[in-house]
Structure 1
């Protein structure tokens, strides 16, 4: 009863591929992926991108690992232009469960480190208002908010995101204080 059996896999040509290797329990896989996901919380952007790359690679291992990484890979959404916003909107329509996973949205200019116009902030607010119930944090980074690039009426749609309690601005140039005032007043739960 204590013997270990070896299963040989055969291809269509009839050649064996060696012994069958037992699978890791799902709980072990979950712990590995959760451990990799904790690397996102570090400050070093190079190390952070390596963790993201590793998580993305894990998603490609098999269908089980794809679903285990799904939660971690979709908690933070990066929106660099209008196409990203439209793609996210289509994804949320196709996969409604994803709506409950997204906790943070990063809205930035097209190039990291350079201030670029963020016209897509208004598109994001108008198209996704009320569609991401657990969104708690918006980050606006590497952005130039010029007069007329984002309609103030669109910023009003942010009030529908009633779970947002954190707004982080990093390397953002505003044209006037009224833009910041409208943004802050549209998010009543800010801490």
Structure 2
């Protein structure tokens, strides 16, 4: 494969349009087919839905939860979506619609490249709604927060996958606070994320004043230092919280931040009985008065009876085994 083709494919994987228009090339030729265009578009839409991480489901099997990020099927589906963009003009338009909406940033150089691209083409800032920061150090997040601030007006969701805050060398609270410059960011998903301290986790949440959805899937930290209650935000955010198989320090930080986060819906699960009872009760105690919807996935019988639901506003909690 030529270097030019390789560059085009790399840009497409990031969600950036190609520098070339393929005018007069075979890519602009619509293949002869008896199928209507809508059928192809529906197929590409299905591929795009698989190329994005689904919402965290606390009822999934533990074997699936432990799957390495490099083996997650979303990566291969993303590559398939990129391949669709090279078939013809019709396919490229539909595939780029999805690739430009969900941008993956696997390294700092991709953040820099995206920033330069958006400065040259301001009209391409608006389509980006969801950013994935995948398999990297938290320094990468710091670069994203500072460099792309105010360049992504439509960004509403940030997903960190396999990000390690413990190896960050240039991360500091000031850089994380730049996330507040994304006014429409209301969703944060953390998957296989390691923090040095729970305070880092708290700082990340405090940097998102409009947070409405928080999901923690296998999130942990090394230091058992507790997070002090904060009143830096003048209002409480009504939000949904999902917690699956995360450490005691993360759950403790979430309980402390109940003075800021007003959880209306709580979904919780842990694969071990002891942790399930302790963490589940801690979250219920912290958010009980504001909870209207509670779903708890229990690993075994008998746990439901050990959880005190009396002080929550949820009349019909849902339990799954």
TM value normalised by structure 2: 0.46
Distance 1:98 1:31 in 2: 24
User: Matches of residues 78-157 of structure 1 in structure 2 within 5 Å?
Assistant: 78-110=104-136, 117-146=137-166, 148-157=169-178
Residue-pair matches, total: 166
* CA–CA separation in structure 1 for the residues paired with 2:154 and 2:114: 15
1:189 and 1:107 map into 2 onto residues whose CA distance is 20
Structure 2 residue 192 is the aligned partner of structure 1 residue 171: yes
CA distance in 2, matches of 1:54, 1:80: 18
Q: CA RMSD in A?
A: 2.6
- Bigger shift: 124-133 or 38-47? 38-47
| C-alpha spacing 1:89/1:23, structure 2 compared with 1 (3 Å) | farther
Mapped to 1, the partners of 2:202 and 2:98 lie a distance apart of 33
Q: After TM superposition, give the deviation of residue 148 of structure 1 in Å.
A: 4.7
Match of 2:46 in 1: 35
Q: Which residue of 1 aligns with 2:202?
A: 181
Indicate the SS of the match to 2:150.
coil
The 1:148–1:41 alpha-carbon spacing in structure 2 relative to 1, beyond 3 Å, is closer
The 3-state SS of whatever aligns with 2:51 is helix
TM-score normalised over the length of structure 1: 0.74
Distance in 1 (alpha carbons) for counterparts of 2:121 and 2:88:
19
Deviation at 1:129, TM superposition (A): 0.7
CA apart distance, 1:86: 0.4
